[in-house]
Amino acid sequence: MPHMLEWSRAYTHRLSSKDAEPMKARAGEIAARLARETSAGELPFLTMPYRSRLEAELPPLLPRVRACKHMLVLGIGGSALGARAMQQAFAPGQDGPGYIGPCLWIADNVCAERFEALLSKLPPADTMVVCISKSGGTIETLSQYFLVRDWLRASMGDAWREHMIVVTDIAKGYLREEAGRHDLASLEVPDYLGGRYSALSAVGLLPAAFLGIDWQALLDGAASVAQPLAASPESVAGHPSFALACWARALELHDYSQLIFFCYIPQWAAYGDWFAQLWAESLGKDGQGTQPVPATGVTDQHSINQMFLSGPRNKGCLFLTSDGQEAGRAFGDDLPDKWAWLRGKPFGSLLEAEALGTRMALCKNGVPLLHVQMADNGPRAAGALMMLLEAATLFTGWLMGINPLDQPAVELGKRLANARLGAQGYTQEESDLAAYLAVPRDEQTF
């Protein structure tokens, strides 16, 4: 069974299929750009030229990595969210009772308390630290690196180097220099492979491999979606990722300013955060874009779904399900009469019924909805979904006339924070901060 996009409820309410025609008419232009950028090596997330090198360099690291019970990942944004999604989807045991397998900890914030909780409990000699940063200079990641380096050194001296792997640019950045200086093991983040498009490189796959996840299957799934685009860019016109992009752009142009990512594959819930970052950081540009809203079925039926159904009519929905989820233990034949209709049914039947009910309720309440129906929920399927969404994000950005691969707006806050911490070379930011802080405070206690 193939995975599929089910379109019958996508063009509804304020949106008709005619609204996507101007976008679809640009398929030739998009194909030409795709051909140009893939042959220039600028879209490695699609063409995956790094795969053979990764397959040669990652496996030899695994015995050393798997000799440790713990892996501590230091990274943020695109350097963390893919690994977390894969962990929760395919190696969720750590959150459950009786777990004895490998443990992955992802430190993607500057929370001193949480960081302390990790370092005070993790045994350095049984922990592999993986520091992930494409730029090699992200302050949140680097600051944790410095502290963890001290922590390792304090307990094992020079052997700290055996417990640190860096995943970063092949040639530039502070982290690459550190790897050279201390002879640290490293894997590359290839040129042009920006954070949020890098989950299917060493960035996400080293942690996945540590957990015993079938990382090759993730790559195979991604390749199955990307290959037609990479091999013959003109196939974009009929490719599901382009159809999705045309729909998303049409939604935006018809005042649907939010895009719900409603995930009815509960194990895949963390893909909501991964998708939200991919979509928001790629497409929130020049006053344009749609706000991604991740939600998990069925949990969020009892939470934000009320707003989806009866709040402002400004939402479209990507609705994700998987076939084959109707398993699970069955209800007994002795259920009380009031619940007789559940007798003999597997627990999993609730998920299918509730997904259908919610889908229909959304459709009835003015939400154009594209049903993404996965044939199964294994790693290969996840790889296919990730590539579908990455390609769709790229094409949506091109249709919008923005660059979906950069994120200039978030730089300002970073520069101001650096200035606040006393970094050199931020004269303008220092005076901007002073002016900001000089505004009299308008306080109200509570």
Active site residue 281: yes
Q: Is 138 in the site for ligand PA5 (CB under 6 A)?
A: yes
Return the SS3 of 290: coil
Of 102 and 194, the one with the shorter C-beta distance to ligand PA5 is 194
- Give CA–CA dist 187/167, Å, rounded: 5
Q: Is 285 in the site for ligand PA5 (CB under 6 A)?
A: no
Quick one: which of 217, 288, 219 has its CA closest to 248? 288
Of 31 and 206, the one with the shorter C-beta distance to ligand PA5 is 206
- Give CA–CA dist 340/245, Å, rounded: 45
Q: Which of 141, 186, 258, 325 binds ligand PA5 (CB under 6 A)?
A: 141
Quick one: which of 408, 306, 415, 401 has its CA closest to 358? 306
Question: Judged by CB under 6 A, how many residues of this single chain contact ligand PA5?
Answer: 14
Q: Is 76 in the site for ligand PA5 (CB under 6 A)?
A: yes
- Give CA–CA dist 376/381, Å, rounded: 6
CB closest to ligand PA5, residue no? 195
Q: How far is the CB of 410 from ligand PA5 (least distance, A)?
A: 7
Q: How far is the CB of 308 from ligand PA5 (least distance, A)?
A: 26
Q: Which stretch binds ligand PA5 (CB under 6 A): 29-37, 72-80, 344-352, 419-427?
A: 72-80
Active site residue 37: no
Q: Which of 88, 133, 186, 258 binds ligand PA5 (CB under 6 A)?
A: 133
- Give CA–CA dist 340/348, Å, rounded: 17
Cis bond before residue 298 (omega within 30° of 0): yes
Quick one: which of 289, 256, 273, 255 has its CA closest to 362? 256
Q: Which of 78, 82, 190, 289 binds ligand PA5 (CB under 6 A)?
A: 78
Two tokens, residue 205: 């796959």
Q: Which stretch binds ligand PA5 (CB under 6 A): 99-107, 132-140, 155-163, 242-250?
A: 132-140
Active site residue 302: yes
- Give CA–CA dist 268/125, Å, rounded: 32
Of 273 and 300, the one with the shorter C-beta distance to ligand PA5 is 273
Q: Which of 38, 47, 87, 135 binds ligand PA5 (CB under 6 A)?
A: 135
| Contact call for residues 178 and 184 (beta carbons, < 8 A) | yes
Q: For ligand PA5, what does the binding mask look like between residues 189 and 218, x meaning CB under 6 A?
A: -----xxx----------------------
Q: Is 281 in the site for ligand PA5 (CB under 6 A)?
A: yes
The Cβ of residue 364 has, within 10 Å, a number of other Cβ atoms equal to: 11
DSSP 8-state code for residue 10: T
| Contact call for residues 373 and 319 (beta carbons, < 8 A) | no
Active-site residue, selected from the candidate residues 140, 252, 281, 429:
281
Distinct helix (H) and strand (E) counts, the chain: 17, 10
Q: Is 144 in the site for ligand PA5 (CB under 6 A)?
A: no
Q: How far is the CB of 76 from ligand PA5 (least distance, A)?
A: 5
Active-site residue, selected from the candidate residues 18, 113, 121, 302:
302
Sheet of 369-374, strands arranged across: 4-6, 369-374, 315-322, 258-263, 291-296
Q: How far is the CB of 134 from ligand PA5 (least distance, A)?
A: 4
Backbone angles phi, psi at 369, to 5 degrees: -135, 125
Q: Is 186 in the site for ligand PA5 (CB under 6 A)?
A: no
| Contact call for residues 314 and 366 (beta carbons, < 8 A) | no
Positions in the binding site for ligand PA5 (CB under 6 A) = 76-79, 133-135, 138, 141, 194-196, 281, 407
Question: Which active-site residues does the annotation give?
Answer: 281, 302, 414
